[in-house]
Structure 1
């Protein structure tokens, strides 16, 4: 009778890792990264949640209840009504001004950035690197450093305290030109441009029909950066504008906030106005994010 020996797995060879070790290490890395992302998301979303909760409270409830939970009295609709009707609806005027400043400024700045980045990427001319280096230097200059010189210049030109005094500085985006140049170098094929030239297309037509289409993901990024930057801009309108009816939302809400010591009801107006002011940015992000997803899959193959 032959005896069957119990089969045992061979011990792993020296220097070889167990196949389960990489899996456990990858799982641990995933947990750590997910935890960090949750902390970052909480950091950014907590103020938004606080604004949402605060906008539903009266002034008394705002200071007598938990800041991160709703009060027994739900005053959101009353607060929003007060925001929209106070002082003849001045908030609506501020909101329209912000739409003009941010919408028109971001749209034109994106177009100019696309044109500049496309030209720097696809045209050979003397001094191209010098121009690009100057633009990169412009990225390092903060807007607060140029606000006062611009005010003095616009005052001499007679356009201070006008829509143009806020719009014109918003049309320049050094970061947008930098991003569009890098993206155009990697996505716009020179052979495609040469083929369009052979077919008789002019340079402007090539840029508008081929260049802008291929640059769409970069343009969405530039547009959102400019939209958020102009919408939240405070210092430039503060320096340029003295007429209350030309104020954007940021300046108008700060004007209300400065009066809370004298009139506590301005707390309700300020929190309600802040809630309304963040809605357009959220809508823009939701609508335009699909273009980002489309850009990430460009050039992929099955």
Structure 2
């Protein structure tokens, strides 16, 4: 997934909430559930250790494969040099400090799983993500966030997503940001739920792909995203990547309120709540 360039964002007061969280009535939801007890696996570019994420991020694991010329190379999961994974994690559990995002499910825990996204070896990320999906399903994740896309290694990630589904795990996948009618092929795989992006008024972002695999839509407009070589937060379009994190966080809230529910029960409530996706409304 790609994001647009943005401008530097000044630090905001911890009590300030972005408009989309206010429209979602997040403070009212937090009185009922805040994600406590739920682990969300974010399979992406890792995570940067930041004060605004402290206490919310589990140790995680890296499946980022080293170059053939340096097979001994190691990649700590808490060493995100690209920033995409950190942005997705903050959208779920950030505490709003330091100008970073207020996460929608601040009581949840995130399991970071590092792939080659954002690196010269990104062509291998989908295969690595397949390993990550299986790892997450076997190690306590209730929800898997895949804000990534591509055609490579579908034969590896497809069975992994089906495996996660068989373990009762929800898998959310971004639809893509090329504005086409085509689905991110990962979102079209059995067991995956595709997420499109809308603006603050609930209208589709022009950049959001809206193929037939779109199951949900969530906010993906101007949001805090890591920038300046992952040294600051900037206001940028988060696109379907960010929207996928919001969908994952929404599922975490529902599951936190009803910890004995199955994945199917959580999905049914989400589908009943969101109504008709704007993409489908346009097609009617």
Provide the TM-score with structure 2 as the length reference: 0.23
Choose between structure 1 and 2: higher strand proportion.
2
Provide the TM-score with structure 1 as the length reference: 0.22
Choose between structure 1 and 2: higher helix proportion.
1
Greater C-alpha radius of gyration: 1
